[in-house]
């Protein structure tokens, strides 16, 4: 007979990750007053589904932590120090002087 697994939150992967984060922070003795969830994107290049999914996944975990009764702070940062390797399509060639 198979043991029934506990359903956490809505039963999604991000609910499970949220529960693991909360348990880890508790075991480490860290404050659970506010749990920070961070995500970042690079400013260079064309935005794509990969950079969108990075933000979406972390935001989903942040919401799941909140639904489990903890305050969260979702921090999104943009790495604007990432040097351009080439001028993006549709942008003027005058930007070449800013490469590197």
- Is residue 34 in some structural domain? yes
What domain range includes position 62? 13-80
- The whole model's pTM is what? 0.71
Place of tokens 């702070």: 73
- Is residue 8 in some structural domain? no
Return d(Cα 45, Cα 24) in angstroms, integer. 35
Domains identified in the chain, total number: 1
- Is residue 44 in some structural domain? yes
Q: Which pLDDT score, from 0 to 100, does residue 40 have? A: 84
The separation between the first and the last C-alpha atoms of the chain, rounded to the nearest angstrom, is: 62
pLDDT band for 83, please (50, 70, 90 cuts): low
- Is residue 32 in some structural domain? yes
């Amino acid at each position: 007979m198979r043991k029934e697994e506990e359903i956490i939150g809505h039963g999604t992967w991000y609910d499970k990750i949220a529960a693991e984060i909360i348990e880890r922070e508790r075991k480490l003795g860290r404050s659970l007053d506010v749990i920070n969830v961070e995500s970042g994107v690079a400013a260079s290049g064309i935005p794509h589904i990969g950079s969108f999914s990075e933000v979406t996944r972390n935001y989903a975990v942040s919401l799941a932590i909140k639904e489990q009764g903890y305050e969260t702070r979702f921090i999104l940062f943009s790495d604007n120090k990432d040097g351009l390797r080439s001028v993006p399509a549709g942008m003027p060639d005058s930007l070449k002087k800013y490469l590197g």
